[in-house]
């Protein structure tokens, strides 16, 4: 069995680049309940969790 560590994105810019979306779109996802955390001015997300959320949203 192969175990793969989750890919964690540690900035809004990383999330935008990974998903090919604008800062505005990613912030909107956060407001809509996406598994994106915000600590002060810093955003972050785990790629698999966000991907699952997007699929469930039909995006």
pLDDT at 2: 84
Domain boundaries, the chain: 8-56
pLDDT at 32: 97
Token pair belonging to 37: 């955390």
Nearest by Cα to 41 from 17, 21, 15, 11: 11
Confidence of residue 1 (pLDDT cuts 50, 70, 90): confident
Q: What is the pLDDT of residues 8-40, one digit of tens each?
A: 999 999 999 999 999 999 999 999 999 999 999
Taking only Cα atoms into account, the Rg of the chain, rounded to an integer number of angstroms, comes to 11
Q: What is the pTM assigned to this prediction?
A: 0.89
Question: Is residue 3 scored above 90 in pLDDT?
Answer: no
């Amino acid at each position: 069995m192969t175990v793969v560590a989750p890919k964690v994105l540690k900035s809004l810019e990383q999330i935008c680049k990974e998903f090919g979306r604008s800062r505005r779109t990613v912030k909107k996802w956060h407001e809509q309940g996406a598994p994106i955390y915000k600590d002060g001015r810093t955003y972050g997300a785990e790629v698999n969790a966000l991907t699952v959320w997007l699929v469930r949203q039909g995006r």
